[in-house]
Structure 1
Amino acid sequence: MSTVQTLAPVSPPGGVFASVFSPSWVKPPKYRQRFTPAALSTIPDTKATLHALLRSLLGIGDETFIYGQDRWVPNLGGPFHSHFESCSPPDQIRHPTLADHAAQDAEEAQSPLWRNLPRWRSVVGSEPLKKLLAAVLNDLMTEFVTWSYAGVYRHSLHLHLEFWVQHLFARITQKALASLDGSAASSTISVPDAEAKKWKDMATARLGALRVDELFDIVVDWDTTAPAIDDLRHFTTNPATRSYLTHNFANVLQTRLLHPGASTINILQVYISVIRSFRILDPKGVLLDRVAKKVRRYLREREDTVKVIVAGLLSDTVDEDGQPSTPDPETLADLAVELTNNSAQDGGADASEFDWNDMDWVPDPVDAAPDYMKSKNIDVIGSLITLFDTKDVFVKELQNTLAERLLKNKADFNQEISVLEHLKIRLGDAALQGCEVMLRDVLDSRKVDNVIRRDQGMQDDRGRPRQADDVQLHAKILSRLFWPTVPEQAFHVPQVVLEQQQTYERGFEALKQSRKLTWLNAIGQVEVELELEDRFYRDEVLPWQAVVIYAFQEADANAEAKAEAGFATSPAQKTVTSLASELAMSPTLIRSACIFWVSKRILTEVGRDTFAVLERLPAGIDAVMGGGDDAGAAAGAAAAAGATGGAGRRADDSNATAAAAAVAAEAAAAQAAKEAEEAERQQKMAMYHQFVVSMLTNQGAMPLPRIAMMLGIVVPGGFPFSNEELKEFLAGMIKEGVLHVAHGGAYKVSS
């Protein structure tokens, strides 16, 4: 009875579904094969020898292996090489002739394999040897695919693989099985089509697995590896292989790309390549939808994603001579090319699911996810524009970047016009209305500027300036309501510039009688020319940088007057404090400008926050000229020629000092901009303060969410802060005694 109970089947937990799996208490037989000790000891050697002989017959590891005759047959093509890189293009491989088969059979007949198979069969048996043969052939198929195709990307690779499977792998397998069954090994073997198809499917699966492992490198180097996508198309023919590809590739992206060490530009470049490759691999976009979810989610969390995208769209694709410009590694220039090349149809709206007139409609793939986005012809630009939940984020950043480009001193704005025209097709005219106004302002400003300067006598008949010191003023007239808010950094401009501004205002008011100009002195560019004792400097700088160096010019003029009167003089010096008082400028901005001129070797810091003009460069130091002329270069060369033996080291130290000064100038400028933004934020907070008080006075107590909603409606341009920031702001008003918290957490004006 105990024996019967032990052998009785016991239903494992889980019912019928779990019963199809082997329970853990089922033990395998102790002896799977009944071999003599002598036979068991020969199996490893037999397997190794079988592996080596079959490897040679299949042409694995031998780059000189050729099937049949080694000659080119007219109208038929070239011979087959097992090594893919050494082979002719797959579409030029000839179908083997009778002579090829005969030559190959004669070559294979010399292999010791056919003599060893009967001997091995007598030792281990026919069936065990067949299993051993199957295991070796399985390994050799994977080995061949890796050896011949790893890292090799050429078109029509599947034709090469099919040739190898049909005429080598399947035929030799059939010959080996026939030999084990007692048939003649040298007889002509014909492989049934059904059997050959099974082998080809197995080989295609191995090739697909190899390409899936290489997929990240394939996508990154898209220009040279595009043929590999065709290999994957033959692999992803069922839901199982498609799922394997997307699951594996998504994990690789998470490990190798989506981490803080990768820059946003690199992530976007890989994402663009993923879009291009997966749209070829699966035009319906199901595979791309699965893979891109993590990438899109990660990109949305990066603060600079939208900035990189917009900067790439607006990047210049041609230089001033009309030639393709050199790509900037810090800019995603591929987007500008992609936007220009794609037609309006590619960027159109998604096709409706129920477009009855679409004769090319096909149902969604069977493995499409429930939340699969039904889309058509979504290209790179469309995928990036729809990256965010709302297009307002993209449009706002586009306005900010476009404003910076339009305010530059450029000969034309053809690139900006082209980008806006293409984006209007995708986003609509209404979304880009503000950008259109900005562009029209800049283009109209040129006409208005020429009219005002001509009417006010600010230039002669040839367009040259009439004012003293050759100062020439040009202005761009902006519509205040349509341009992004720019942090204003107020300061006093030189008197000669102020006089021209006043003249310009009179001309504008005469031309546009109902309008008045408000000058934004911190915005724009100034072309400066500085003449020192041993060099000449010319460059385009920011207005506040030009104002600071102009203050040193006035001090230098006073020093020259004293020198003419016979007094001893020294180079003009200024302190940050005196400049801040004289120019009514932020001390941080003053120091930033001075450090900038130190980096250009125009000023030198002689003391703490004290700067002086560097009239002559020390011996052995070359000036860093931003756009300097030949005279400046000659002066630098002369200074280098008169240097001592240690001039090289001093020059290197000076270059390092200049580079450090340039970095410090950028840091100081960033700090000044941050202070200006904070000042502007405080001004806005004062406006928000008034909004909140008026709103709670008129409508009574309100909870925090309702206050945020109302501010989003009434504040021009929308309320830019989150509920947490608003809560901190209201807490400050409570400390001031303006508000207090009523019953239920609502905010109320203090009586």
Structure 2
Amino acid sequence: MNWLPSDCQTLVEGMQDTGTLHLFEDLVLFFVRKNLQEKVIPQFLESFAKVSCVEMLDALENLYTSMGWFHNYVGNWHNATSLKLQMNQVLKSILKWNAHYRLEDSFSKLFACSFQFYVTANERNNYSFHEEGKSDRLLVEWKGFKQEIELSTLENLMERQFKPLVQHWLSELGLVEFFCDDTVMAVLEVEVDRYITKICGGNFEKRWMHSEGAELEHWSNSQVMPWLKLIFHHGFKKEVWTQKLHYILYRSYTKLRISEMLNIITDYPDSTPALHELKFCLQHTRQRPCLIESLKNDITNRVLHPGVSTQNIITVYIAAVKALRELDLSGVVMEMVLEPCTTYLTQREDSVRMIMQGLLWDDGSNDLAAELATTQEPEEVACWNERVTEKPEDWMPDPREADPNKVDKSTRTSDIVTLFIGMYGSKEKFIKEYQKLLSKRLLQTWYGEKSESSEIRNLELLKKRFGEEDMSKCGVMLKDISDSKRINTYINEEYYKKNSLQNNLNLRTMVVSSQFWPDIPNQEYELPEGITKSLELFNKGFENLKASRSLKWLSSVGMVDIELEFEDRQLEISVNPLQASIIYHFQDEDKWTLSELSDSLKIPPTILRRKMTFWLQQGVLKEIEPDNYVTIEKRPGTTSSNASAPAASGGGVVDASEHFVNLCDEEEDEEKANSDEEEEKKKKNEQVFWNYVQGMLKNLESLPLDRIHKMLQMFAMHDSDMQIEMAQLRQLLNDKVQKGLLVIEQGKYKLVRDNS
């Protein structure tokens, strides 16, 4: 400015006199460039580099004023419009040459400040944190930068400087495209990410888009679009920015849901709305490869490790199959994501057993049991079934993420039971495991006269899955149950009555065909004489009915209902035959040594000592000296009454093959525990739940009580022995808070870092 005459007319007249008027524009541009490079731009950059939004706006106003002087200077020049454009180009070149990226970042910070002021005018809590007593201040944030500004000051700046900046200054200086386009996109991406994370994070049950009153679309139309219109003013193109904003919304929503995908799977089917919206967004953002990679990593790191039980892994697998098929009908995402899970499950020794237990869930509430009940008979499918369509135009190629080496693509549409069978390449393991489980279940239920209708139903469903021939042995096992009931009815009601016989034991026996049943473990020992006579009497009745067969009893298998009478009490209890035999000896003699009892029962002392523990815990026997036991006829503080010998009734299982029969029992580890054992079990379960809670909070940082309880139901409460009520869980977590292991912040539990 100091290099040019103060009046443009003076310069024009001087150049006319010298015949150099044709160099007027070059001369002005030379002085404009020199002034900008040596004075205006350095001052602008120095002020604009300040952190404060106030100083940035002041610097932009000074730049506009300086350039405005040059524009006014040539205002009367006949080609003033073209000359002004050239001046603006000089300005743009100098700015771009000197500090384009630095300026872009500063402009982004300034635009973010305006976004957070305008867009959140009615609900600023979405982006700012207001401390008590500071509701008149706005916390402006941008990529780590934070500045708290009084709303009155910020409102004044927006009206006095920012609006003129975007509506006039940048347009007149020709810097709208230079600064606004990329800057606005960068700001939108960050701010939309923050807003979507704030309102949509963890909420999978609500529709946020494409529904009446959808919050995201309402927010973008009512809040973001007016801000964009303010920024671009007369150059605003609604259709263009609507398309860009929708793309940013879809991409941000997809990014959030990808990070939460494992939680969405565990919450299925409640999370169906989130899956449907993610499915729509993936069609527009092409982020499917990112979803596949992220979810595979999450499942590998958070599910497929020794700390997670096989039952929980199976639960996640089933939920993932259902959720991912909801997300991707082609099945490609499911196929690729669950490949590590499939490999890992086949390496776990108890996987087949856990799968079969799920299939045989009695009440049908289990996912696998429900799947088995609803699955139709498998149909033969052509090898290239993905190529076969009724109409050629209906054919859809595989998505580009699909593995081209996968020839057999039937797993993409197979039901869940078929997927599990396909893991092992054969159904033989499942059939053998089913035989073991069926044997155990029948042995546990026949004694109580429980109906086998659920077992028959399961068998019929499995026959459809595995075939009649392969399940024939299991059919024989169920037939043995009904045959045994007829045999017991005949012997107990007809044979004894016909021959005027009386059996001292109410004996119910299950006769099984040994070649069709899995091996039944048995502890050989010598039964007491009174019990042996009852078994021999029952055996005669069986031989009368089945002349060519006899029974071979498994002496430790079965269940015996006994009633014990003491001087001060009566005790009714169900025990296995060995435990009944032990206490049977004490009706004749009140005192036995371990060696004497071992010789009488013909059982090793080490095994017998463990069995004696049960009666010690029940308060029936007392060890007065090492390996010396007596009955406790009268407990301290009680009055006397007459004592009598124990009465008993029993049941067993027998196999009627050509010449021998088996007798079965419940497993000894299912004996009823006393109160001390129950307390120990409760503590053990609480420790298991606490381990799960720690794992959840390490992965998700903080969770409310109801969310923790829901996740425990999904991952930890896989049987009736592993249950915890909401109140019990609250007490457990509050105990951990008192011990300094947890803290509660805004109603959410969080691990203390030093203890995590």
User: Normalised by the shorter chain, which TM-score bucket?
Assistant: 0.5 to 0.7
> Is 2:409 the partner of 1:374?
yes
1:38 CA displacement: 2.2
Inter-partner Cα distance in structure 2 for 1:541 and 1:152? 52
Could you say which residue in structure 2 is the equivalent of 1:685?
none
Pick the aligned partner of 1:421 from 431, 452, 460.
Answer: 460
> Residue 267 and residue 231 in structure 1: after superposition, are their counterparts in 2 closer, same or farther (change >3 A)?
same
Q: Deviations over 1:147-175 (max 9, x none)?
A: 22111223542223662476246633641
> Residue 433 and residue 252 in structure 1: after superposition, are their counterparts in 2 closer, same or farther (change >3 A)?
same
1:451 CA displacement: 1.3
> Is 2:116 the partner of 1:55?
yes
> Is 2:399 the partner of 1:353?
no
Tell me which amino acid in the other structure corresponds to 1:399.
Q
> Is 2:200 the partner of 1:149?
yes
Inter-partner Cα distance in structure 1 for 2:573 and 2:398? 60
Could you say which residue in structure 2 is the equivalent of 1:598?
616
Structure with greater strand percent: 2
**After the TM superposition, which residues 175-574 of structure 1 pair with which residues of structure 2 at under 5 Å, given as runs?**
175-179=229-233, 183=234, 191-192=238-239, 195-237=241-283, 241-317=287-363, 333-340=366-373, 342-345=374-377, 352-354=383-385, 362-369=396-403, 370-371=405-406, 373-375=408-410, 377-408=413-444, 409-410=447-448, 411-457=450-496, 466-468=502-504, 471-555=505-589, 572-574=590-592
Inter-partner Cα distance in structure 2 for 1:406 and 1:165? 61
RMSD of aligned residue pairs (Cα, Å): 3.6
> Residue 226 and residue 112 in structure 1: after superposition, are their counterparts in 2 closer, same or farther (change >3 A)?
farther
1:576 CA displacement: 2.8
Inter-partner Cα distance in structure 2 for 1:171 and 1:239? 21
TM-score normalised by the chain length of structure 1: 0.62
Inter-partner Cα distance in structure 1 for 2:553 and 2:402? 58
Q: Deviations over 1:364-397 (max 9, x none)?
A: 3332212264126423333233332322111111
Q: Deviations over 1:536-577 (max 9, x none)?
A: 22232222222112222332xxxxxxxxxxxxxxxx233332
1:59 CA displacement: 4.0
> Residue 525 and residue 248 in structure 1: after superposition, are their counterparts in 2 closer, same or farther (change >3 A)?
same
Q: Is the 8 A contact 1:532 1:616 kept in 2?
A: yes
Inter-partner Cα distance in structure 1 for 2:676 and 2:329? 54
5+ residue gaps, structure 1, are 1-32, 66-108, 319-323, 325-332, 556-571, 621-653, 664-751
Could you say which residue in structure 2 is the equivalent of 1:38?
47
> Residue 603 and residue 371 in structure 1: after superposition, are their counterparts in 2 closer, same or farther (change >3 A)?
farther
Tell me which amino acid in the other structure corresponds to 2:369.
A
Inter-partner Cα distance in structure 2 for 1:459 and 1:662? 53
> Residue 60 and residue 593 in structure 1: after superposition, are their counterparts in 2 closer, same or farther (change >3 A)?
farther
> Residue 142 and residue 551 in structure 1: after superposition, are their counterparts in 2 closer, same or farther (change >3 A)?
same
Could you say which residue in structure 1 is the equivalent of 2:226?
172
Inter-partner Cα distance in structure 2 for 1:416 and 1:532? 41
Inter-partner Cα distance in structure 2 for 1:543 and 1:497? 10
Q: Deviations over 1:603-640 (max 9, x none)?
A: 233333333323344569xxxxxxxxxxxxxxxxxxxx
1:357 CA displacement: 7.5
Question: Secondary structure of the equivalent of 2:430?
Answer: helix
Aligned-residue sequence identity (percent) comes to 27
Q: Deviations over 1:53-111 (max 9, x none)?
A: 3134334992899xxxxxxxxxxxxxxxxxxxxxxxxxxxxxxxxxxxxxxxxxxx989
Could you say which residue in structure 1 is the equivalent of 2:87?
none
1:473 CA displacement: 0.9
Tell me which amino acid in the other structure corresponds to 2:347.
E
Pick the aligned partner of 2:209 from 152, 158, 165.
Answer: 158
Inter-partner Cα distance in structure 2 for 1:662 and 1:37? 69
Could you say which residue in structure 1 is the equivalent of 2:600?
582
1:119 CA displacement: 7.6
1:124 CA displacement: 11
1:247 CA displacement: 0.9
Q: Is the 8 A contact 2:189 2:248 kept in 1?
A: no
Question: Secondary structure of the equivalent of 1:530?
Answer: strand
Q: Deviations over 1:456-505 (max 9, x none)?
A: 216999xxx9433xx21111111111000122211112223222222222
Inter-partner Cα distance in structure 2 for 1:211 and 1:60? 28
Inter-partner Cα distance in structure 2 for 1:176 and 1:517? 95
**After the TM superposition, which residues 650-669 of structure 1 pair with which residues of structure 2 at under 5 Å, given as runs?**
655-656=675-676
Q: How many residues align?
A: 511
> Residue 161 and residue 366 in structure 1: after superposition, are their counterparts in 2 closer, same or farther (change >3 A)?
farther
Tell me which amino acid in the other structure corresponds to 2:425.
D
Q: Is the 8 A contact 1:339 1:381 kept in 2?
A: yes
Query: Relative contact order, CA 8 A, sep 6+: which one is greater?
Result: 2
1:218 CA displacement: 1.6
Q: Is the 8 A contact 2:324 2:333 kept in 1?
A: yes
Q: Deviations over 1:557-602 (max 9, x none)?
A: xxxxxxxxxxxxxxx2333322221111233432232112223232
Question: Secondary structure of the equivalent of 1:316?
Answer: coil
Could you say which residue in structure 1 is the equivalent of 2:140?
none
Q: Is the 8 A contact 1:348 1:426 kept in 2?
A: no
Q: Is the 8 A contact 1:239 1:367 kept in 2?
A: no
Moved more, 134-143 or 376-385: 376-385
Could you say which residue in structure 1 is the equivalent of 2:139?
none
1:439 CA displacement: 0.8
Structure with greater helix percent: 2
Tell me which amino acid in the other structure corresponds to 2:345.
L
Inter-partner Cα distance in structure 1 for 2:353 and 2:616? 31
> Residue 501 and residue 251 in structure 1: after superposition, are their counterparts in 2 closer, same or farther (change >3 A)?
same
Inter-partner Cα distance in structure 1 for 2:246 and 2:682? 63
TM-score normalised by the chain length of structure 2: 0.61
1:123 CA displacement: 9.4
> Residue 472 and residue 60 in structure 1: after superposition, are their counterparts in 2 closer, same or farther (change >3 A)?
farther
1:256 CA displacement: 1.0
1:116 CA displacement: 4.7
Inter-partner Cα distance in structure 2 for 1:120 and 1:577? 106
Q: Is the 8 A contact 2:189 2:252 kept in 1?
A: no
Inter-partner Cα distance in structure 2 for 1:51 and 1:380? 49
Inter-partner Cα distance in structure 1 for 2:586 and 2:681? 19
Could you say which residue in structure 2 is the equivalent of 1:669?
none
Q: Is the 8 A contact 1:529 1:537 kept in 2?
A: yes
> Residue 242 and residue 605 in structure 1: after superposition, are their counterparts in 2 closer, same or farther (change >3 A)?
farther
> Residue 501 and residue 164 in structure 1: after superposition, are their counterparts in 2 closer, same or farther (change >3 A)?
same
> Residue 657 and residue 39 in structure 1: after superposition, are their counterparts in 2 closer, same or farther (change >3 A)?
closer
Question: Secondary structure of the equivalent of 1:456?
Answer: helix
Q: Deviations over 1:258-305 (max 9, x none)?
A: 111111111111111111111211223211111111112111111121
Q: Is the 8 A contact 1:317 1:337 kept in 2?
A: no
Q: Is the 8 A contact 1:344 1:422 kept in 2?
A: no
> Residue 263 and residue 454 in structure 1: after superposition, are their counterparts in 2 closer, same or farther (change >3 A)?
same
Inter-partner Cα distance in structure 1 for 2:316 and 2:208? 25
Inter-partner Cα distance in structure 2 for 1:660 and 1:576? 28
Inter-partner Cα distance in structure 2 for 1:53 and 1:520? 85
Question: Secondary structure of the equivalent of 2:571?
Answer: strand
Question: Secondary structure of the equivalent of 2:362?
Answer: coil
